[in-house]
Amino acid sequence: MHLENQDSYLTDHDHSLFAVADGVGGYKGAKEASEIAIQGLKKRAGVISDDTSFQSALQEIHLEIEERANLLRYQNMGTTIAAAKVLPDGLNEGTVITANVGDSPIIFFKDVETGELCRKVYTDDSHRNENPSSMFGIIQFLGLPNYKIKVHTSKFHYASGDILLICSDGVTDNLLAPIRRGVDPWARLSTLVRGYRSAQRLAESAISSGIKSDDMTAILIFL
C-alpha cells in the first residue's frame, strides 16, 4: 500500500490544456511517471491543436516514460493520462478535443436539457466493460514496456455553460458505485457536479464514500 498521491495534473489556462495522470499503483516509479506525463504535455501544449498532434504528443511521452523506466530498471513504471484541449471560436462556444490512455475518466455535462445527464468522452482501457463491478485490471497505460499504445481521441462541440470533468478513476469508482437500489449513479454524478461546482468538493465526496481506497484528483472545466 503506497502512502503518496501518485496522481499529477495540469491546468494550463494559457493554452486551454487540462489533464490528469494517475500513476499505475503497485509498481515503482508511478509518481514519477505521472509527473513525466504532465510535464511532457505542458512542454507540448502550444503545438497540440488537433487529434493527430495530441496522439503524437502522447506517443512521444509514452516512449519517454519507457526510457526512464529502463534507466531506473523499474518494471511496468507507468501512468494513465486523460487530457482535453479547449478550442473556443469566440462566440461562447467551440470545440473540445480529448485524448486518453488508460482508465482515467473524461465526462461531458451539457448545460441544457438534452435527454442525457452526462456523456463519457473517453475510452476506458480496463475490464469494466466486461465486468462493471471490476475497479481494477488496466489494459494499457503510458510507459507499458514493449507495447504499442493506442491513443483514444474524441472531438465534440460545446456551448457556454457546459462542464467537463477530468479525474482519476478513484473519483468515479466511488461516486458511481451504487449506494442503494433504485439510485441512478449517473444521475448522482450529474447532481453532484452541477450542485458542487467544485472539483475539491467532488473529490472529498468520493473519498468520504469509502468504497475504494485510491488517489483522488478531479478537474472541472466550466466551458
Question: What is the model's pLDDT at position 4?
Answer: 65
Question: What is the model's pLDDT at position 68?
Answer: 97
Tens-level pLDDT at each residue, the chain (223 residues):
445 688 999 999 999 999 999 999 778 999 999 999 999 999 999 999 999 999 999 999 999 999 999 999 999 999 999 999 999 998 889 999 999 999 999 999 998 766 677 999 999 999 887 765 665 689 999 999 999 999 999 999 999 999 999 999 999 988 987 656 667 888 889 999 999 999 999 999 988 887 777 788 999 999 9
Task: Name 120's Cβ contacts closer than 8 Å, sequence gap at least 6.
Answer: 105, 106, 107, 108
Query: What whole-number distance in Å separates Cα of residue 125 and Cα of residue 138?
Result: 6
Question: What is the model's pLDDT at position 184?
Answer: 81
Question: What is the model's pLDDT at position 127?
Answer: 86
Distances (CA, A) of 28 to 23, 108, 163, 165, 211: 10, 33, 35, 28, 25
What is the CA angle 95-59-173, rounded to 5? 65
What domains can you pick out in the chain, each with its CATH number? 7-222 (3.60.40.10)
Q: Which helix (H) or strand (E) holds 67?
A: helix 51-72
Question: What is the model's pLDDT at position 188?
Answer: 87
Query: What whole-number distance in Å separates Cα of residue 217 and Cα of residue 5?
Result: 9
Place of cell 523499474: 74
Question: What is the model's pLDDT at position 2?
Answer: 47
Question: What is the model's pLDDT at position 179?
Answer: 59
